[in-house]
Each structure stands twice: as structure tokens, then as C-alpha cells.
Amino acid sequence: MSNKPRIQISQKFMLTMLTILCVVLIGVSFFTDKLTAPVQNALSYVIVPLQKGINGVGLWLTDRADYFSTIDELREENALLREELDELKEKNLVLVQDQIELNTLRQLYALDDKIPGYTKVAARVIGKGTGNWFSTFTIDKGSKDGILVDMNVICGNGLVGIVTDVTDNSATVRSIIDEKSNVTGMLITSSDTCNIRGDLELMDSGYIHLEYLRKDVDIKEGEMIVTSNISDKYLEGILIGYAKNISEDANSLTQSGYLVPAVDFEHMTEVLVILELKKNK
């Protein structure tokens, strides 16, 4: 079987022909676009969508870069704002504490005016016993400041309690709500006497005991009870609290009920100590 002759085309020939074709097309393009227009139209179907896609990707990348840049800026601004907010909160807390202390001192000075004739010293509460109530607590004034055992302590609108122990720079106070506390009180309208006894469990309801008031004494709801002149340790006329739910006892000889203390024994920061002891005749 005979082999057909193969036409061999050299690479130089191909390159020469393509070069000539390009030169011809360039020459023709100077005189007419009839030959290049179809090529341009054909290429536009490929190049234009490709350009749109590339532009779209570029715009998306630019938007994302701007987005992340904006997030970083917002994070920095947010961190600065948080620092400023923390500083403002701290300053506000100091102002609130100063205002509370100022209001407390104003109340103490107002109480000082209500109980004239006695020298008093202001003291800060620096410790308290267990539980929610200030039944016993420690103040930051002691014997160096003239504090002695059995001195009366007042706060807010009235009687807090009495000093039970003293060191050079501190003192312990037992309040009237403590279960060991008994105070001889009297009605401000008639001077009839009664006993005020502390009770921490009852204090959860806001009361302590009022007892041993004579049956024939006419006492009204909310009547003011003050320290009695016959008390052996408490100075006379200091407000203790207000009568509540008084009724006749089973013995038909006395009345008893409750007393609402004049002092807030759940929140206490400052007190006044009267620098004078009760002088018993």
C-alpha cells in the first residue's frame, strides 16, 4: 500500500504568512473599519461581560475594605466611649457618695438643733455585727475623742442606742433593736412611762416591743415615745419611735404593742455621740 505524500509547512512560512496578514489588516484598518468591525463586535461579547465582572469584583472588594475599615474605626471609638463612660460613672459615684454623706451630715446637724444643750461628736460607722440590722456596730471615735461607756448615740430622727465598750480610737454601740436592749420610754403628751424592748426577729417587720404601759393610759396610734426622765442611762426627751397596735394585756392591768423606731437601722453610716452621761439623782 502506497503512502500519500504529506504536505510539510515550515514554521517560518507560517510566521511569514501571519505577519503579512497582520500588516494587511493594519493597513486596511487605516482606510476602512469594515474588516475590523466584525472582529470588534465578536470580541465585545467576551470582553464587555468580563470587564463588568472584573469591575463588580473590584467594587465589592472596595466596599468590603471600606466596611472593615469602618468597623475598626467604630471599635476604636466604642473603646474610647467606654473609657469615658467608666470615668463618668466613677465621678458620678463619688458625687453620689458625697451627696449622701452631705445629706447625712445635714440630718445630724438638724438633729443636733432638736436636742440642744449637749455637746456632741460625729462618728462614722466602720463595722457591724452579723445580719441585716445594725443591732451592734463599731464607730471610729473612742476615748481620745471623749467617748465613754453609757454615752447616748443618736442618728436621723432619734435614739440609736448606747456605748457599751470603748478603745482609744473606736467604740461599740448597742442599738435599741438589740435583744439585750431595754429603754424606759414615755409618752410625749402625758409623760406616762413604758418599756421599749429590742427584738431582731420582730424588727424584720419594722417593729420592736412596747410594753408595761398602764391600762388606763389613753394612747393614740402613732403617738411619739421619747426617753423617760427616770431612765438610768438614757438622757431625757430623745425620740425613740412611734406607738403601733397598742392593746390591753391578758392581766387587765397593762397595755402593750409595738413601736416603730424613728431611726433606719438597716442603713446607717454616720451617728452623733452625746458627750454627756446621765446624772442620776
DSSP letter string, 166-200: E-SS-EEEEETTSTT-EEEEEETTT--EEEEE--H
Tell whether 259 and 202 lie within a shared domain.
yes
Tell whether 153 and 261 lie within a shared domain.
yes
pLDDT in the model for residue 96: 59
Q: What percent of the chain has pLDDT over 90?
A: 49
Could you say which of 96, 114, 132 is where a domain stops? 114
Is residue 233 within 8 Å of 163, Cβ to Cβ? Answer: no
* C-alpha to C-alpha distances, 265 to 3, 88, 136, 198, 269, nearest whole angstrom: 123, 32, 10, 12, 10
Q: Would the pLDDT of 88 be above 80?
A: no
Tell whether 57 and 182 lie within a shared domain.
no
- Number of domains, the chain: 2
pLDDT in the model for residue 228: 94
pLDDT in the model for residue 85: 75
Q: What percent of the chain has pLDDT over 70?
A: 69
Tell whether 91 and 191 lie within a shared domain.
no
Tell whether 97 and 229 lie within a shared domain.
no
User: Angle 11-31/36-114 helices, nearest 10 degrees?
Assistant: 80
Q: What is the mean pLDDT of residues 207-219?
A: 96
The three grid cell numbers given for residue 252, joined into one nine-digit string: 387587765
Residue 2 lies in a domain: no
Q: How do strand 171-175 and strand 208-214 relate by DSSP bridges?
A: unpaired
Q: How do strand 120-128 and strand 158-166 relate by DSSP bridges?
A: unpaired
Q: Would the pLDDT of 188 be above 70?
A: yes
Tell whether 107 and 126 lie within a shared domain.
no
Tell whether 255 and 147 lie within a shared domain.
yes
Tell whether 132 and 92 lie within a shared domain.
no
The residue ranking higher by pLDDT, 53 or 161, is 161
Tell whether 79 and 166 lie within a shared domain.
no
Angle at 66 between CA 70 and CA 85, to 5 degrees: 0
Could you say which of 114, 129, 148 is where a domain stops? 114
CATH number at residue 178: 2.40.10.340
Could you say which of 114, 140, 164 is where a domain stops? 114
Which helix or strand (DSSP H or E) is residue 53 part of? helix 36-114
Residue 216 lies in a domain: yes
What's the chain's average pLDDT? 82
Residue 11 lies in a domain: no
pLDDT one-digit tens code per residue, 38-73 = 655 665 565 566 666 666 666 776 766 676 677 778
Q: How many residues can be counted in the chain?
A: 281
The three grid cell numbers given for residue 49, joined into one nine-digit string: 461581560
DSSP letter string, 73-102: HHHHHHHHHHHHHHHHHHHHHHHHHHHHHH
Residue 25 lies in a domain: no
Is residue 164 within 8 Å of 149, Cβ to Cβ? Answer: yes
Tell whether 71 and 194 lie within a shared domain.
no
Q: Round to whole Å and give the CA distance between 266 and 128.
A: 11
Residue 223 lies in a domain: yes
Tell whether 221 and 258 lie within a shared domain.
yes
Tell whether 231 and 133 lie within a shared domain.
yes
The three grid cell numbers given for residue 2, joined into one nine-digit string: 502506497
Residue 6 lies in a domain: no
Q: Would the pLDDT of 82 be above 90?
A: no
Structural domain boundaries, residue 256: 120-274
Is residue 268 within 8 Å of 137, Cβ to Cβ? Answer: yes
Torsion of CA 222, 248, 232, 189, to 10 degrees: 40
Residue 33 lies in a domain: no
pLDDT one-digit tens code per residue, 223-248 = 999 999 999 999 998 999 999 999 99
Residue 202 lies in a domain: yes
